[in-house]
Structure 1
Amino acid sequence: MLVDELRHVPLFEHLSESQFEWLAKNGEKTQVDAGKYLFREGDPSEYFYVVINGELQITQTVNGEETILATHNSGGFSGEVPMLSGSPYIANARAIESTELLRLDDEAFRAMFSVCPIIVSKLFRALSGRIQTTEALARQREKMAALGGLAAGLAHELNNPAAAARRAADDLFDTMTELRRLTAKLGGQLTADQFDLLTRYQDEGAEALRNPEALDSLERSDREDDVGTWLDDHDVDDGWEMAGLLVDGGMDVDRLEALADELSDTELIDAVSWLRHSLGATQLLFEVGRSTGRISELVKAVKSYSYMDQAPSQMIDLHRGLEDTLMIMRYKLREHHITIDRHFDPAVPPISAFGSELNQVWTNIIDNAIDALGDQGNITVSTRLDGDSVWVEIADDGPGIPEEIQSRIFEPFYTTKDVGKGTGLGLDIVHRIIVNRHNGDIELESQPGATRFKIRLPIQRD
């Protein structure tokens, strides 16, 4: 009989005979075969379960992977949180071996509070520790998932300039080899005055590459056509290919004619090739400089974003933190074709804050906005000074958050994302950092086409 089986369940110790009979009458015995799921994350919560015998594993899906939260043997229970809150199951329950359970529907579960108060006492004692453990694990996964996303974006951002620098360095080696050969050849052919003219064009070309002339596309095309035609008429190999570089280096037909007046036909061909390789080497050096400069900027942004080697709480530049966050997330923003508008109040002073934690706030809100926008949209980031406080507003022009769920978005574990794609802790963390850590406020305004998170931070944190 079910009553006899329930007597051996640790959770039901010290119950009276009438209480055992009530459980047997109002509950229902069910069985789950090994490997089968009792319920899955996101399923409607219909029952509270107590393991009679067997083994039940509780997991949660995050980013496509299942993480074990707990394992229940005889007396273990599951489903109490969603039953109490009226929300779907927040985890998966799978039988490790053939498992028998007692299940209570919503009416019986709530009636149990008055019929079997000793069970309720045990349930809530266990529930307190369980929630803390689950929340701690989920927060850690949220942080690791966010870190993984940022790391992936940074890897792409760093790879582009690193690859460009490597290509430029490889090309520079070949270019310098040919340049040395031509220099040695021309050194035995040209007079000092002729070589001075050539090196003057080289110096002026380097300056033109450093500070390029503003040309519209039509004017540039005309110059390239003129130079390409001139080179072709003078039997210069690959003339059309090098025309663009020579134009970038300030060369035009008049300068080429001046060079031709000083040199023989053979010397002219070698001299133009020398100019091409000299300007090419300069251009490649600039590319290496730009690429390594970009890498340096990213490393600096990462260090600033994380407040590495700095005190946790200090006077921080709010705008710098927002810019660092946008730079760190630039790859994801670009990947989703999202534009950023900035409206920063220059009167905003440094504020007393935990800088790295605020950057986590900006990251979570902007990341949610990216997810909401999909493959196109706009995010506006603005600040303003308001007495002894500063307001930060992050807005997007996405579909908006339905009015009926707006009051719940800061609740732990509440998420509008598909099962396994979010822990429901991103905005809970945001709320804790702003309200609990910084004595600030956060407000949400949302309608289709306009979602705004408005955050107030005191300039001096108490």
Structure 2
Amino acid sequence: MTAQPNPCSVDELRALFLFEKLAPGQLAWLCREGRVELAGPGQVYAEGDPASCFYVLLEGTVVLSRRVGADDVEVTRTSEPGVYAGAFQAYLGDRVPQVYNSSLRATVPSRFFVLAADAFAGMMREWFPMAVHMLEGLFFGNQTTQRAIGQRERLLALGSLSAGLTHELNNPAAAALRATSALRERVAGMRHKLGTIAAGPYERAALETLIGLQEGAADQVSKAPSLSPIEASDREDEVADWIDAHDITGGWELAPAFVQAGLDTQWLNQVAAVVDEAALEGALRWLNYTVETELLMNEIEDSTARISALVGAARQYSQLDRSPYQVVDVHELLDSTLQMLAGKIGSGVTVVKDYDRTLPKVPAYPGELNQVWSNLIDNAVSAMNGTGTLTVRTALDRDQLLVEFGDTGPGVSPEIRERIFEPFFTTKPVGEGTGLGLDISWRIVVNKHHGDLQVESAPGDTRFRVRLPLTAPESDSQQEQL
């Protein structure tokens, strides 16, 4: 910033809301101790630098921004004379870090009244009326900042969940597509083999028996036992050897489907008993097509069921089709959140659900509670660095419903335990956390649901406990009725 000094006018300062209640002597003191500077377009000061000056806008346009991760997020853009920024916490002395907690940029040539931090601190200790103005401005300005960056936190979370959901949906959709393509080939092969069998030397009784075996094979698919890779390999070898022993080439191609369907050499012996040896190969390949068709249809059913479950979880999580305030089963909310975050949780984290299913439903804002669950689960997974156990427990705690999230991470040190619910406080690396997740969660649980959010932590055992009232406060009930 290139700054040029300009004369300070008592009358101009008196016209600002910030100084309108000051006495003539106080205004004269400000002009004597401060200065007026003209700043060209560009940065006035940067977040994190030593807070050396207090700035009041006289003329121009400024942008106030906060650093969130690796980005600078615009909080306020204004041209209103009298707005202030900079070292407004100087009067607190060394009780707080005396650095700029935001960045200030002028978008056009702008004039500022500038007061040194130490002079501002002395003035604040002596002039109570201005302290009132300052405290009010600080309070409402902080609220605006939290709303602006809190909204960005929600959008980032939504983007992360959308990416995870897209990935989760892509897998079963791709599997269903592959299975459908393979099914078309198998059905075509089955039609060809059926024509071959119809033209073959089969007696009516043999055909009826063969069709019965086909129905039995199709039914057996749904009852097939789950085999370990070694067990499946051993049975495939037995079936392949049986097929090769009956002079049928390519037994290794037919064996996997028969074994996956739970069909063994004893079943093959039943087929051989009713089919002439010359027609055995055609019959087995036809039956193999039947088995493969059933297996592929099962795969398509499983994939589409998975897609349906994910869409249902997304609907439950977002609460798009439900009223904002309702009586809910917290277990449904927890399950939908865990399903939505499955990709982020990863295979290295074991999820343990310790639910008390006898708990009553509670009045709540389910969409916002899902945001709380997401924040707490995300923090737990991050703390464990992708490896450990996440325990989600529900219980009745006197007259409140308890939801507890436990992780086996390194724990929260006593030095920072009292600060973790402060806005913008984070222990995550730059670019990975905004420091608003726990602050937003606390406000949702405490302010909006009249509940409680606490943490207990030791190495290997950290627990965030959310307590919710079992009944709605009268004010909330009346508001919903209106």
TM-score, structure 1 as length reference: 0.87
Moved more, 58-67 or 314-323: 58-67
- Which residue pairs with 2:286 in the alignment? 274
CA displacement, residues 224-267 of structure 1 (integer Å, 9 cap, x when unaligned): 11111232344544321331111122332333344335445552
1:4 aligned to which of 4, 7, 10: 7
Moved more, 117-126 or 26-35: 26-35
Judging changes above 3 Å, is the alpha-carbon distance between structure 1 residues 279 and 461 closer, same or farther for their aligned structure 2 residues? same
* One-letter amino acid of the counterpart of residue 435, structure 1: V
Equivalents in 1 of 2:382, 2:49: separation in Å?
23
Structure 1 gap segments, 5+ residues each: none
Judging changes above 3 Å, is the alpha-carbon distance between structure 1 residues 47 and 370 closer, same or farther for their aligned structure 2 residues? farther
Matched-pair identity in %: 37
Number of residue pairs the alignment of both structures matches: 460
| Aligned-residue offset at 1:56 | 3.8
* One-letter amino acid of the counterpart of residue 368, structure 2: E
| Aligned-residue offset at 1:288 | 0.8
Question: Are 1:386 and 2:397 matched, yes or no?
Answer: yes
- Which residue pairs with 1:253 in the alignment? 265
Moved more, 12-21 or 50-59: 12-21
| Aligned-residue offset at 1:128 | 4.2
- Which residue pairs with 2:77 in the alignment? 71
* One-letter amino acid of the counterpart of residue 68, structure 1: E
SS at match of 2:272: helix
SS at match of 1:176: helix
Equivalents in 1 of 2:289, 2:100: separation in Å?
68
Equivalents in 2 of 1:6, 1:114: separation in Å?
24
1:424 aligned to which of 425, 428, 435: 435
1:58 aligned to which of 54, 64, 70: 64
Q: State whether residues 6 and 35 of structure 2, in contact with CA within 8 Å, keep that contact through their aligned partners in structure 1.
A: no
Equivalents in 2 of 1:52, 1:104: separation in Å?
13
- Which residue pairs with 1:306 in the alignment? 318
Equivalents in 1 of 2:61, 2:398: separation in Å?
59
SS at match of 1:200: helix
Equivalents in 1 of 2:6, 2:40: separation in Å?
22
Structure 2 gap segments, 5+ residues each: 474-482
Moved more, 83-92 or 288-297: 83-92
1:232 aligned to which of 244, 265, 269: 244
1:244 aligned to which of 253, 256, 259: 256
- Which residue pairs with 2:182 in the alignment? 171
| Aligned-residue offset at 1:292 | 0.9
| Aligned-residue offset at 1:281 | 0.8
Q: State whether residues 69 and 430 of structure 2, in contact with CA within 8 Å, keep that contact through their aligned partners in structure 1.
A: no
| Aligned-residue offset at 1:290 | 0.7
* One-letter amino acid of the counterpart of residue 387, structure 1: R
| Aligned-residue offset at 1:130 | 2.6
| Aligned-residue offset at 1:440 | 1.7
1:109 aligned to which of 116, 120, 134: 120
- Which residue pairs with 1:198 in the alignment? 210
| Aligned-residue offset at 1:342 | 1.6
SS at match of 1:408: coil
Equivalents in 2 of 1:125, 1:385: separation in Å?
41
Equivalents in 1 of 2:415, 2:432: separation in Å?
21
Q: State whether residues 61 and 419 of structure 1, in contact with CA within 8 Å, keep that contact through their aligned partners in structure 2.
A: no
CA displacement, residues 87-136 of structure 1 (integer Å, 9 cap, x when unaligned): 55443334445767665555333212145666545544544443332222
Equivalents in 2 of 1:65, 1:281: separation in Å?
53
* One-letter amino acid of the counterpart of residue 183, structure 1: L
| Aligned-residue offset at 1:443 | 1.5
SS at match of 2:143: helix
Q: Give the superposed CA RMSD.
A: 3.2
* One-letter amino acid of the counterpart of residue 463, structure 2: R
Equivalents in 1 of 2:387, 2:88: separation in Å?
38
- Which residue pairs with 1:372 in the alignment? 383
- Which residue pairs with 1:180 in the alignment? 191
CA displacement, residues 58-110 of structure 1 (integer Å, 9 cap, x when unaligned): 22344644332223556543235665682554433344457676655553332
| Aligned-residue offset at 1:182 | 1.2
1:38 aligned to which of 45, 49, 53: 45
Question: Are 1:86 and 2:96 matched, yes or no?
Answer: yes
Q: State whether residues 172 and 281 of structure 1, in contact with CA within 8 Å, keep that contact through their aligned partners in structure 2.
A: yes
SS at match of 1:323: helix
Equivalents in 2 of 1:268, 1:441: separation in Å?
72
Q: State whether residues 19 and 115 of structure 1, in contact with CA within 8 Å, keep that contact through their aligned partners in structure 2.
A: no
Moved more, 371-380 or 128-137: 128-137
CA displacement, residues 178-213 of structure 1 (integer Å, 9 cap, x when unaligned): 111111221121333333333333222223321222
Equivalents in 1 of 2:260, 2:75: separation in Å?
63
Q: State whether residues 425 and 435 of structure 2, in contact with CA within 8 Å, keep that contact through their aligned partners in structure 1.
A: yes
Moved more, 246-255 or 4-13: 4-13
1:135 aligned to which of 134, 138, 146: 146
The 5-angstrom pairing of residues 345-356 of structure 1 reads 345-356=356-367
Moved more, 94-103 or 236-245: 94-103
Judging changes above 3 Å, is the alpha-carbon distance between structure 1 residues 260 and 147 closer, same or farther for their aligned structure 2 residues? same
Equivalents in 1 of 2:133, 2:414: separation in Å?
37
Judging changes above 3 Å, is the alpha-carbon distance between structure 1 residues 187 and 131 closer, same or farther for their aligned structure 2 residues? same
Judging changes above 3 Å, is the alpha-carbon distance between structure 1 residues 177 and 68 closer, same or farther for their aligned structure 2 residues? same
| Aligned-residue offset at 1:408 | 2.2
1:321 aligned to which of 316, 333, 344: 333
- Which residue pairs with 2:444 in the alignment? 433
